[in-house]
Structures are given as structure tokens and as C-alpha cells.
Amino acid sequence: MLRPVVALTVVLSACLAHAVEDRFPKVAEAYLVKRDDTLLWAGGADARLPPASLAKMMTALLALERGRLDEIVTVRRSALQATGTRIGLRPGEKLRARHLLAATVVRSANDACRVLADYLGETTGGFVALMNRRAASMGMANTHFADPCGHDRDGQYSTAADLLRLAEQVMRHEEYLRLARIASMTISTADGGRTFQIHNTNALIGRYSGAIGLKTGYTERAGNCLVALAEREGVRVLVVMLNAPNRWWNAAGLLDRAFETPVQ
């Protein structure tokens, strides 16, 4: 016989699964749409898939929770190993942690992300261990990180449901929300010797009314990924999409429909 608490959990889970409609099965391999506290639509939400640079939300979260963003960080030679999107950091350069965070969130720069992760965890492996411990503490049972910046790695996976949970956690930090909605900004080395103009990878910023962020991602294994947050008249809609071929068009469509849907 099921204990009362367990039975109630089973009933609630069954009702939730039944109530949340997979209304847009073609928008992505996995997706979720949530309006304020109400989950509207979902498909493949628990499928384990590569998260691409959506993993950087966890890197940013750990940096924000640690604080001390004005500390000076020295770029290690390991930053040269970062591939994909970069801002061109050079070994020996010094930047404030907050500027590395900005490049990670706004530009999704892998060299800045790698420098920040190695600084916070002392080594890449040490930081990945921190990522997985934090994920476990948040109940992200279907997530395992193997790279702080989201590169394709064996054994790295997450789900739309887990990434929604991560997004809601990082949204609690006003600094993250401030950075995520910036279209472009300039950062510099600590001595002011070099500056970097960085542009947001999120095509919704400045183009979709109410868009705030939160994170973009792409790798060959993961395809186009997106966590999109928008707010209108005090209503917030959060969309998570994994392997979404037409992510910008479909994200805008999902956001529109969510804002238009009455919620009781």
C-alpha cells in the first residue's frame, strides 16, 4: 500500500502530466512554456539532451552565488583551448570577474567562461564537480555536466524540465537579468589596456517586445537551444527549447501565444 504522501505525489504527478498539453510538438525536440507560476505546454520535457551553452547558466549562477565580482582574475593559458565563440583573451591579461561573467552571459564567450570556471573551481574538473553538486542540490536529477561552457562532451546532458529549474534559480539574481537584456556593452582589462565590444547572442533582445533573456546555445550535437524570458504588464513567460531548428521564429510564437492565453 502506498503511504499517503507518496500516493498524493503520484496523483499530483499524474494530473500534471495529463493537464500539460504538448500543443506544439514540432517547435523543438524538447520544450516547455511557463507563464508566471503556470506550466502551459510541454513536450519531451524529461528527455536527456545536450544543453549546449545553456550550461553557462550554471557557471553564471555559481559565480553570482559566490559573489566578490570585483576580484581580479588572471587569464590562464588554458583559455586558448576554448573553441567556438570567443572574445580573444590573451594569457596573462587580468579582468574583473564581473566582466568575465558579462562576456559569458551576453556574448556566450567560451574563453571568458573557461577563465571564470578555472578561477572559481581552481581547475576545470574542480569547477565541473561544483556544477554537478549544485545541480543535485536543486533536484536536477536528469542533468550531468562535463564542461562548464556547454561544449559537446560524452556524459553531458540535461532536460528541458531541469533547465527550467536552473533558469528560475538564476532569475533570482538581478545582475544576471541586467546582463541578459543588454544588447551590447564594452568590457575591458583591469588596467584598461584592452577593451572588448560584446554583442548579445539572443536575437530577441531589442526585437521582441518585453524580451529579457536568458541564454542561447548551439553545438552540433545539441542543435539550436534557447531559454527565452519576456515580461509584459507584470506577466512573465519563460520558454525552454532544446534542438529547435527555427528557434527565433518559434520562440516568438510561443511567447505570443502564452501572453494571449488566459490563465485561471
Q: What pLDDT was estimated at residue 262?
A: 80
Q: How far, in Å, are 66, 104, 181, 192 from residue 116 at the CA level?
A: 12, 9, 21, 19
Q: What pLDDT was estimated at residue 80?
A: 78
Q: Provide the CATH topology of domain 22-260.
A: Beta-lactamase (3.40.710)
Q: Identify the segments of the chain with pLDDT beneath 50.
A: 1-18
141 Cβ partners below 8 Å, 6+ apart? Answer: 162
Q: What pLDDT was estimated at residue 77?
A: 85
Using only the alpha carbons of the chain, give its radius of gyration.
Answer: 19
Neighbouring CB atoms inside 10 A of 154's CB total: 6
Q: What pLDDT was estimated at residue 13?
A: 41
Q: What pLDDT was estimated at residue 10?
A: 37
Q: How far is Cα 160 from Cα 155, in angstroms, rounded to an integer?
A: 17
**Domain residue extents for the chain:** 22-260
For the segment 20-48, what is each residue's pLDDT rounded down to a tens digit? 889 998 999 999 999 999 999 999 999 99
